[in-house]
Amino acid sequence: MIVVMAASLALLVCMAGLTLGSTLLSPLEVIAELFGLGDGENAYIVMTLRLPRVLLSFLAGAALGIAGLILQSVIRNPLASPDIIGITNGAAVAATLYTALLMGKWGVAGLPFAAMLGAGTVSLLIYLLSWNKGVTPIRLVLIGIGMAAAAGAVTTMMTVLSPTMVASQAYIWMIGTVYAANYAEVGAMLVVIGVLVPLTLILTRPAHVQELGDDVATSLGDAVQRHRTLFIVISVALAGSAVAYAGTIGFVGLVAPHIARTLIGRSFYLLVPVAGLLGGFLVCAADVIGRTLFLPYDMPAGIFTAAIGAPFFIYLLYRNRNL
Amino acid sequence: MQLETKSLTLGYGHKTVIDALDLQIHEGKISVLIGSNGCGKSTLLRSLARLIKPEDGTVLLDGKQLAQWSTKELAKQLAILPQGPIAPEGLTVRQLVEQGRYPHQGLLTPKSARDEWLINQALEATQLTLHAQRAVDSLSGGQRQRAWIAMALAQDTPILLLDEPTTYLDMTHQIEILDLLFELNRQAGRTIIMVLHDLNLACRYADHIIALRDQRIYAQGKPEEVISAAVVKAVFDLDCEVIRDPLFGTPLVIPYGKRKGYAE
């Protein structure tokens, strides 16, 4: 079944992530190390450097994929993604502000929190501005696009006005990188996903019924506004935390749900895990490519998700050109 | 269950569409709302289904204000089919009809035997059993409308509201849908309230006609009692002749327009 295939793909890319790098390891050596049977020679490389990085990139990608799926379902538009609704840009503004003003005082550790706060604030703003006795998809999108543009402008302005070092630090974060990942971050992402994904799956029926339109959904007894708010909160939390720990990795939230839908169709409870697995695969693969293809340079994963994502986005626009 | 309004006022912003309206829906009968464009028929229908909140006055179901019913409980009593509903791409007829069971299911409860039975009944009543696996958007206009009605049937409610269910259909399909609704009323006793544009079809199928004009009910009653040239002139500003339909005996409205017919 598709889910099994996606899961195997995911495992493959994780394995690739663990074996490839400036020091090439064999799969056997990696497996030995994972189960504590190795000779400790490669322990540092596998356990400290690569494993957290592979896990974090995968989890961040999964969170983004599912966040994108939820938004596309709520907004009833295949072009929706966390990028459009301003989540990623809100996080970027906060992160850039933090890098420019507070990094010196509080260090890198505070960056994820700033990013999450930024994502949450912007999303709340968008939601409130869209509120008019309820929130409709079209209003969310329009205001989201406006906010994204505004946030982008603020970020660019700050980057231009800051000293070079700050600017390049912020810039690298914004492109999206999982460099220097650690287990604390992996743990945090696991908690986020562990709580929110089952919650999303429980809401499968409301997701399906809302596809029929607000009027029909209300007629069928769905608490449309309540469920919609819940969906948006889940999506923001997922995307916000992914962005907080891995930077603004673009396009995953757009691409992963689409591919999932092409493979699976409409079934929400199948789409969620597949979008997650595909999203994880995309980011993990992008990260692996980024740090192996241009050795000794370590390119941020965001570049490669954009490289795959941008043409895909153009293809999507082309396919929907008659709308 | 008695559905009625008391002094209902509906509006958008500063515009009042319905003013202090008292209306009692006849249980187990087919009621049709008629009136010129923009007279508030759809608005009234939607307020009966709690899709619109009243500016003033109330809608009562079984003596209880609509606002006091829980959404799920209300969905078990009332089903509304809005105008021109859109099915998601690729959704099959059966999948659409299954959604009709939503108010009877929790978030995680599996489909029950009764759910299955009602879905199959709904498909049979709308003659879509053979088309159950086809995508809704691949069906003809009449079939598509039947699929949506099947969904409302699966919802298993005593009251069914339909907003212009025949507006985008050709004549054959219009008759097909109205015949189906007529059957549902006569055989299962469902209360049906619908907005129709075609005056003659309204007369043919309705037990009770409610004509709206100037934010109020201008006239209501059996088609023979309500529809006359004078009423049509008042409600629609249309000159006409009203004769007796040779097939069904109900009023048949023949409009004049600019030309005066044989007399010219």
SS (H, E, C) B114-136: HHHHHHHHHHHHCCCHHHCCCEH
DSSP state of A19: H
Q: What tokens were used for A264?
A: 């699976």
- The answer on pLDDT for B167 being more than 90 is no
What residues in B contact A199, CB-CB < 8 Å? none
For residue B249, what pLDDT band results from cuts at 50, 70 and 90? very high
Cα gap B103→B73, rounded to integer Å: 8
Say whether A223 and B51 touch across the interface (CB within 8 A).
no
Tell me phi and psi for residue B194, to 5 degrees: -140, 155
Question: Which residues of A lie inside 8 Å of B (Cβ-Cβ)?
Answer: 202-206, 208-209, 211-213, 215-216, 218-223, 265-266
Cα gap A134→B143, rounded to integer Å: 33
Residue A162 confidence (pLDDT): 76
Residue with tokens 């179901």: B61
What CA–CA distances, in Å, run from B151 to A170, A216, A239, B6? 53, 10, 36, 30
Question: Which residues of B lie inside 8 Å of A (Cβ-Cβ)?
Answer: 46, 49-51, 71-76, 78-82, 85-88, 90-91, 95-96, 99-100, 102-103, 105, 107-108, 155
Cβ-nearest to A209 among B49, B79, B99 = B99
Cβ-nearest to B71 among A203, A221, A266 = A221
Residue A290 confidence (pLDDT): 80
- Residue with more model confidence, A265 or B221: B221
What residues in A contact B82, CB-CB < 8 Å? 213, 215-216, 219
What residues in B contact A209, CB-CB < 8 Å? 99, 102
Cβ-nearest to B102 among A202, A205, A266 = A205
Say whether A220 and B103 touch across the interface (CB within 8 A).
yes
What CA–CA distances, in Å, run from B102 to A95, A164, A270, B71, B114? 43, 57, 19, 11, 13
**Average pLDDT over chain B, rounded to an integer:** 90
Say whether A219 and B91 touch across the interface (CB within 8 A).
no
- Could you tell me how many residues make up chain A? 323
Beta-strand runs (E) in B157-250: 159-163, 191-195, 208-213, 216-221, 240-244
What residues in A contact B50, CB-CB < 8 Å? 218
Say whether A219 and B75 touch across the interface (CB within 8 A).
yes
Beta-carbon count within 10 A of A145 CB: 14
Residue A231 confidence (pLDDT): 92
Q: Which residues pair with B255 in a beta bridge?
A: B240
Say whether B51 and A206 touch across the interface (CB within 8 A).
no
- Residue with more model confidence, A48 or B132: B132
Structural class in CATH, domain A2-14+51-319: mainly alpha
Residue B100 confidence (pLDDT): 93
What residues in B contact A212, CB-CB < 8 Å? 85-88, 96, 99
If DSSP codes are grouped into helix, strand and coil, which group holds residue A265?
coil
Cα gap B102→A66, rounded to integer Å: 24
Residue with tokens 């608005």: B43
Q: What tokens were used for A261?
A: 């839908």
Q: Where are the domains of chain A?
A: 2-14+51-319
Residue A220 confidence (pLDDT): 93
Residue B84 confidence (pLDDT): 84
For residue B227, what pLDDT band results from cuts at 50, 70 and 90? very high
User: What number is the ipTM of this complex?
Assistant: 0.88
User: CA nearest B136 in A: which residue?
Assistant: A212
Say whether B71 and A223 touch across the interface (CB within 8 A).
yes
Amino acid at A310: A
Amino acid at A166: V
For residue A322, count CB atoms less than 10 angstroms from its CB and return exposed for 0-12, middle for 13-18, buried for 19 or more. exposed
DSSP state of B3: E
Report residues of chain A scoring pLDDT below 50.
Answer: none
Interface contacts A/B by beta carbons within 8 Å: 64
- Nearest CA to CA, how far is B169 from chain A (Å)? 20
